[in-house]
Structure 1
Amino acid sequence: MYSYSWDIETGGLLLNSSPLSFSKEPRPVYYKELDILGFDQYWNYAKNDAYPYMWAEANNYFYRGRLVAKTKGGSMCTAPEIVIVEEPEPNGMPLRFVDIPAMVEKNSDLLEKLAAETIKKIYNTYVEYMDKVDVFYVAFSGGKDSIVALDLVQRALPHNKFKVLFGDTGMEFPDTYKIAEKIREFCEDSEIEFLRSECDFDPEYTWRQFGPPAQTMRWCCSVHKTAPQIILLREYMENPHFRGMAFTGVRGDESASRSEYDDVSLGEKVRGQYSCHPILEWNSAELFAYIYDRDLLINDAYKKGNSRAGCLVCPLAASKNMYFKEQSYSSGDDGHRTTTTFNDIILETTSKELSNKSAVKEFMDIGGWKARRSGKELSFAKNYMIDSFEKGIFTLQLLRIKTDWKQWIKTVGDITFLEHGDVEILYSQKLYHLEITENEDGMTVTVNIGSNTQKDIYFMSALKTVFRKSAYCIGCRVCEANCPNGYITMKDGNVYIDDKCVKCKKCHDVFYGCLLANSMRLPKGEKKMGSIDRYGNMGVELDWVREYFKSKDEFWTSAHSLGTNKVKNLKSFLNDSEVTTKGSFSGFGSVIDNIGIDSVDAWALMLCNLTYSSEFNWWIKNIDFNVTHTPDSIYALLDDTMSKNSRSHIVSAYKNILISTPQLGVEIGLGSCDYELKKGKRIWNSVVRLPWKAPNPLVILYSLFKFAEACGDYYQFTLSRLLNHDIDSDGVSPTEIFGLERDQMEKILNGLSINYPDFINASFTLDLDNITLNSEKTSADVLSLF
């Protein structure tokens, strides 16, 4: 909200009334962090954490307004490198504390205004929603954001009008538990009701059942946080239909996805529940200034260098933060879990062959476990359900039964259990007969579907979800929390579903129908990476492509600035993008030339073709949207049957392609890179895929025809099919290429149907969606529309 500057006099922050366009998230630095990093070898300071000594913005350390040091790198086992920029005090004199009281005094007017505006927002929200909400509560995590949110809420509302709910995952920092206990005591003294939610299972058990969570498989949040909170509140309210509002400490500066949040939302954080984010627009400068002004608790985790106080071992933690955690929490005798608790399970459950200590160190150092995308990387994963559909016969084979399928099947349709063990299901006004054969280890389900209408497809999908739950479910209670009517009960590994179930299928609406099944899922088949020499370790540069377009096919025989290897890489790239065919300029290339090689649309069209090459197909299938990857994490994702040198070359090629082509990397969102130039070299820090914000509908139409042609001329399909990226398919959906959501696709498809009826017809009514492409047209015909 407010901008800030460094105050030389106090060594602190000075808030300014001008708005802040971008926050670097400054944080105070205490002696413990300096010790952990090794600054005590360079600087003289007292071992006292009464006040901070300086401030940090990411890896930059500021002392009384001056940049005095930087850190580089760092990982779980390796300390970040220290770079001293200048001495903070002359002649090795002791560091001075930040004068916190003076800093607070200087910021008091703006802080008072900021707090008053936020308190008013909280109170007005309470008044507006008091007749719509059964319970208001502060979602407390023990971090700085929730501590500030709690203080503001307790200033805004009567203490008997809200609760404080601590979601104890069992994986918190030991310091967080100390803060939670102090907050519990504060609530008791202030007559605020304090609640604590916990999962039925210990995290050691769930980590061994699900496998360690990963960047794209964060089952832990649902199992250990969200579901326990919902279930606790239902029991507390004695109302399965309760509607709650959580006051959160969510802030927009914390992540790209959170910056899109509204101040008040329904179902954004927790299904069916309201969330109010009173400090959404606050930055960390305001946050810490407020904490010091109000003398609020500060979690010691921050004093030990951690920028966030989350779980001990988190797949989203940055490499440097992993080091801080290891230094402070790898051992302990206070009864709390340590990072070692979870690191041991990571090594115990991985399918990677780690034959020596060096291999173990490398795997843990680069966070190889974070990149897991399926059960293939787990030592114990197995497919417990096999499905097939041939000649109208749909068959499901379960290799084990964990929970009662007769309960789960109630969620599909109207059920009739027949005397000889078979089942009839009335689904969407069609009667299906299930032949059931049970044996000692599992069961077989056979259904004569006959036709293959959209209704049949939805039925088979629902049936797969039900029996997948039966084969995998351990009673994590996420499905119970998802049920808006409280008709599902899970206890001691058993499942009961009330006969009043309304078939809303909210319990189906989890990844792959079951979080455990999703985490253990084995891929049906993966496309191998092409030859590493395809793009070499240099990739392709935009300037090379521009140079080719100046002379087209004459480029290959004329004098130019590129050497042999670069020409080889460029030739492969142009063939993969279909700008050339067997090295000769193509009709597609002419379209690109007319559009202009510097145009975003040109690169988006090329990407539609590149998607079907091994290198780009791997990227699109493995690098998810809105997840920040480092070069190390990309390296870890690559097939470890390839040599280390080959994987390093692939990472380097991706780096150069994405950085040199902003149309592809930034505008279309294939990979927006954080990098720096040093001595003419690109030092790649991280990359994140972001959805294409303003897609050209004609590019999407071209992509749809490419998808249909790759699927064997599959010209009629549904939007639901396009949005389901789990289906093994030769065609790649535009939603997967460009990160498009359902609402956005509906608008694009409706517009295309109106403007180009000779190519496409799409209709969306009730729960049905149909997309039909003109089978007499081709992707090449779409190019004529540009």
Structure 2
Amino acid sequence: MYSYTYDKETGGILLNSFPQAFSKEPRPVYSKELDIYGFDSYWNYEQNDDKPYMWAEANNFYYRGKLVAQVKGGTFFTKPEIIIIDEPEANSLPLKAVDLDLMVLKNKALMESLTATTIKDVFNTFSKYENKVDIFHVSFSGGKDSVVTLDIVQRALPHNKFVVIFGDTGMELPETHQIVEYTMDYCKKNGIEFYVAKSHLTPSESWRMFGPPTSTVRWCCSVHKTTPQLLLLKDILDKDNFTEMAFVGVRADESVRRRSYDYISYGTKHCGQFSCNPILYWNSAEVYLYIYANKDRLRLNEVYKRGNTRAGCLVCPMSTNRNDYLNYRCNPNQTKILTDMIFDLNCSEKDNTPEKISYVENNGWKARKNGRDLKIALKDYDESVIGKELSITFKNHDNSWRQWLKTLGQVLPTDNQNEVRIMIKDEVKGLKIIELENQYITIIASNDPTTINVLFLKNLRKILRKSHYCVACKVCQANCKFGNLSFDDNGKIAISDNCIKCGQCLDINTGCLVYKSLWLSKGLGNMDKKRTLDCYAAHGPKIEWFQEFVKLGDDFSKNNSLGSAQKPMFNRFLKDAGIIDEKCNRTNLGEKLVNSELQDLSIWALMLVNLSYTPQVGWFVKSFNFDSLISRNEIVALLSNMPEIKDSALKAIPPTLKRISSLPLGKLGFGTNDKATKELGGLSFYRTAWQDVDAKVILYSLYKFAEACGDYYQFTLTRLMDTTVESDGVSPVQIFGLDKDVMTGILKGLATNYPDYISVSFTLDLDNINLRQEKTSADVLDLF
């Protein structure tokens, strides 16, 4: 909201009346944090946490506006390094604490204006939605933002018009529970109902069922927070079909993703529910000022006094390395319970080896995308397309799959025990049932690519994944707004015959969160399995080599300046990119690259599509997400888990990826590179979506996808968006980072402009894509 400066008079923060360009998320620094890092060996100060001594922005420490120190690094088991930049006080005089009272007074006018506006917005939201929702609740976490949000709401609304719910994950920091107990007592005294929602599964149970949560497989929030809260609200209201509005302490400055949030949203946190973010546009300076200004009733969570930037879980895949260190340093016993499970469940390294410690220290566990590294990921579930049939083999747990069939359509009676017939939209679907040994079953369905059948097969996969992997986490039950789905005390599912087939219980990524976490890749798909990931050795391509390739033309093979080891590697890269053929002659795409003199980004984008079907580039685009930092150490940690990767490859692949990202490919979705701190390996990458997309490139990528999938020319946008599905084809979503709305617009435009190549159908919840089988990816190149 407001910009700020550091105030030398108070040692605090001073808001300015003009808005901020961006926030550096300042936070107060107390003696407890200074002690943990070891600043007591350098500076003179009292060990008193009544008031902060300075402020920090990320790893930079400011004393009365002067940058005095930095901390570098830090992981679970490694202490950050201190860098002293300047003396806070001359001649080692004692540090002066921040004058909180004067700081609050000097910011009073702006804070009162901001607070009044926020309270008014909350009340107006309540008035607008009072007759549209069944209940309002404040989602309380014990962090500073939720403390402020709750206080704003209780000042804006009558206390009998909302409730407070704390989602107890069982993994919170002990200091958070102190805040919860204090807030619970405050609410009781002020007539505000306070509830605690908790999963029936303990973290020890859920982690051993799902595997540790990761940055891409964040099952923990659904299982331990959202689902318990929704089930609790059903009990409070004594109804299944309800609509709620949650007041949430989300702020835009917390992350790039949250910057895109709206003040009020529907269905973003949970399907069918509203969310309101009262302090969405506040920065951290304003949050701390509000707490200090209202210290008569508000408490600051002690975790902030030791240096944590957030009061989340003890071990979180979204946490920073420095927070990991602080949690392990200050709460070793509680944190060790969870880190020990990461060690115990990991099967990629031998016990107590440096590599296994590195897997945790360098965030290999946070980057896990499937069950490959987990001991609990069993290879007893299989989906295969054989000819014109889809075959799925799974374990039959109490015939739960027959219960799940009710969500697809009307199950018709039949005398044949080896057949199931289902009526879906006036069309009967038949399934063949083959019973195997040890309670396993194979179900076979027609793989006919009609619109209805494509949707049917998508949902059939989901229910059979649920049947095989179900641990009764109750996320599906929470999704059902009509009370037609429940689990008994033994985890057995029951679905009522009254099921209306709304599909909400199936609207979970991949169908089942356990499946998403434990599924196993079958390899490199149609990529050349004979080639190693280290396919360019230590000789990644340079833009200068491409410039020579264009300038010298046919003479390049004889007159280039490349070394004897560089030339064959560059030729390999050109072949992989589709620029030259096996005889080193320029291809159609190669001619286009030369004619464009390297200036046409669409040509580079076509090259990136081709490269995505080769081992190294294909592995990179499939392994790492967009809009998140990718460190060299993270890359090495993932590669180390692959037995075929040699030590020489661990050294060669990151610099090769750096060279590739330095080409124009970097800005098209592959990712750009930058220097990084030593603890990150000195190198980092960052993937951002291609902005000025050429729709014809996407058309080319769709044909490449279809050809790689065995000439399967009909598929859905939903399938392209689901990057967890094992496939020989590489989705343009993985290559270029395009979201669903962008893809939808591109596909509609392609269908209009190139009807001889593609048609699409986005009606009645269908999102079918049909490519013309008589066309090929080579034909698409002629459009350029």
**2:375 matched residue in structure 1:** 379
**1:250 matched residue in structure 2:** 250
Q: Quick check: 735-744 or 54-63, which moved more?
A: 735-744
User: AA paired with 1:313?
Assistant: V
1:303 aligns with 2:301: no
Q: Quick check: 690-699 or 60-69, which moved more?
A: 690-699
- State how far apart, in whole Å, the 2-side matches of 1:44 and 1:545 are: 59
Kept after mapping to 2: 8 A contact 1:702/1:782: yes
**2:22 matched residue in structure 1:** 22
Describe the shift of the 1:192–1:22 C-alpha distance in structure 2 as closer, same or farther (beyond 3 A).
Answer: same
TM-score (norm 2): 0.93
Q: Secondary structure at the match of 1:68?
A: strand
Kept after mapping to 1: 8 A contact 2:669/2:735: no
Kept after mapping to 1: 8 A contact 2:539/2:570: no
Q: Quick check: 578-587 or 7-16, which moved more?
A: 578-587
Kept after mapping to 1: 8 A contact 2:358/2:637: no
Describe the shift of the 1:776–1:226 C-alpha distance in structure 2 as closer, same or farther (beyond 3 A).
Answer: same
- State how far apart, in whole Å, the 2-side matches of 1:51 and 1:767 are: 56
**Per-residue Cα deviation, 1:525-544 (whole angstroms, up to 9, x for no partner):** 23569446643446334444
Q: Quick check: 639-648 or 476-485, which moved more?
A: 639-648
Q: Quick check: 437-446 or 237-246, which moved more?
A: 437-446
User: AA paired with 1:648?
Assistant: K
Q: CA offset at residue 683 of structure 1? A: 7.4
**1:335 matched residue in structure 2:** none
1:643 aligns with 2:646: yes
Q: Secondary structure at the match of 1:182?
A: helix
Kept after mapping to 1: 8 A contact 2:537/2:649: no
Q: Between the two proteins, what is the percent identity of the paired residues?
A: 46
Kept after mapping to 2: 8 A contact 1:408/1:497: yes
* Stretches of structure 1 lacking an aligned partner (at least 5 in a row): 332-337
User: AA paired with 1:751?
Assistant: G
Kept after mapping to 2: 8 A contact 1:54/1:61: yes
- State how far apart, in whole Å, the 2-side matches of 1:206 and 1:52 are: 39
Q: Quick check: 627-636 or 439-448, which moved more?
A: 439-448
Moved over 6 A (4+): none
Give the total of aligned pairs.
773
User: AA paired with 2:496?
Assistant: D
**Per-residue Cα deviation, 1:542-594 (whole angstroms, up to 9, x for no partner):** 4443454333444454465x655555554433332223335444431332344
Kept after mapping to 1: 8 A contact 2:550/2:597: no
**1:72 matched residue in structure 2:** 72
**1:690 matched residue in structure 2:** 688
- State how far apart, in whole Å, the 2-side matches of 1:52 and 1:759 are: 65
- State how far apart, in whole Å, the 1-side matches of 2:390 and 2:452 are: 14
Describe the shift of the 1:549–1:285 C-alpha distance in structure 2 as closer, same or farther (beyond 3 A).
Answer: farther
- State how far apart, in whole Å, the 1-side matches of 2:49 and 2:399 are: 53
**1:105 matched residue in structure 2:** 105
- State how far apart, in whole Å, the 2-side matches of 1:293 and 1:181 are: 21
User: AA paired with 2:631?
Assistant: T
Q: CA offset at residue 67 of structure 1? A: 0.9
**1:330 matched residue in structure 2:** 332
Kept after mapping to 2: 8 A contact 1:576/1:610: yes
Describe the shift of the 1:565–1:9 C-alpha distance in structure 2 as closer, same or farther (beyond 3 A).
Answer: farther
1:428 aligns with 2:425: yes
Q: Secondary structure at the match of 2:366?
A: helix
Kept after mapping to 2: 8 A contact 1:251/1:279: yes
Residues 398-417 of structure 1 aligned to structure 2 (within 5 Å): 398-401=394-397, 404-417=400-413
- State how far apart, in whole Å, the 1-side matches of 2:75 and 2:217 are: 22
**2:620 matched residue in structure 1:** 619
**1:767 matched residue in structure 2:** 765
Kept after mapping to 2: 8 A contact 1:535/1:653: yes
Describe the shift of the 1:450–1:219 C-alpha distance in structure 2 as closer, same or farther (beyond 3 A).
Answer: closer
Q: Secondary structure at the match of 1:580?
A: coil
Q: CA offset at residue 64 of structure 1? A: 1.0
Q: Quick check: 537-546 or 84-93, which moved more?
A: 537-546
Q: CA offset at residue 488 of structure 1? A: 1.0
Residues 38-49 of structure 1 aligned to structure 2 (within 5 Å): 38-49=38-49
User: AA paired with 1:263?
Assistant: Y
Aligned counterpart in structure 2 of residue 514 of structure 1, from 506, 512, 515: 512
Q: CA offset at residue 247 of structure 1? A: 0.8
- State how far apart, in whole Å, the 2-side matches of 1:761 and 1:96 are: 70
**Per-residue Cα deviation, 1:660-701 (whole angstroms, up to 9, x for no partner):** 34x433x433324453699xxx97464343333332212212
**1:314 matched residue in structure 2:** 316
User: AA paired with 1:102?
Assistant: L
**1:489 matched residue in structure 2:** 486
- State how far apart, in whole Å, the 1-side matches of 2:353 and 2:612 are: 38
Q: CA offset at residue 605 of structure 1? A: 2.2
Q: Quick check: 706-715 or 442-451, which moved more?
A: 442-451
User: AA paired with 1:377?
Assistant: D
**2:578 matched residue in structure 1:** 578
Q: CA offset at residue 171 of structure 1? A: 0.6
- State how far apart, in whole Å, the 2-side matches of 1:281 and 1:31 are: 30
CA RMSD of aligned residues (A): 2.6
User: AA paired with 1:469?
Assistant: K
Kept after mapping to 2: 8 A contact 1:475/1:491: no
Kept after mapping to 1: 8 A contact 2:222/2:475: yes
Kept after mapping to 1: 8 A contact 2:672/2:685: yes
- State how far apart, in whole Å, the 1-side matches of 2:446 and 2:576 are: 41
Describe the shift of the 1:577–1:711 C-alpha distance in structure 2 as closer, same or farther (beyond 3 A).
Answer: same
Kept after mapping to 2: 8 A contact 1:330/1:339: yes
Describe the shift of the 1:150–1:535 C-alpha distance in structure 2 as closer, same or farther (beyond 3 A).
Answer: same
**Per-residue Cα deviation, 1:276-312 (whole angstroms, up to 9, x for no partner):** 1111111112221222222231111111111111111
Q: Secondary structure at the match of 1:762?
A: strand
Q: Quick check: 21-30 or 386-395, which moved more?
A: 386-395
Q: Secondary structure at the match of 1:370?
A: coil
**Per-residue Cα deviation, 1:151-171 (whole angstroms, up to 9, x for no partner):** 111111111111111111111
Aligned counterpart in structure 1 of residue 735 of structure 2, from 709, 718, 737: 737
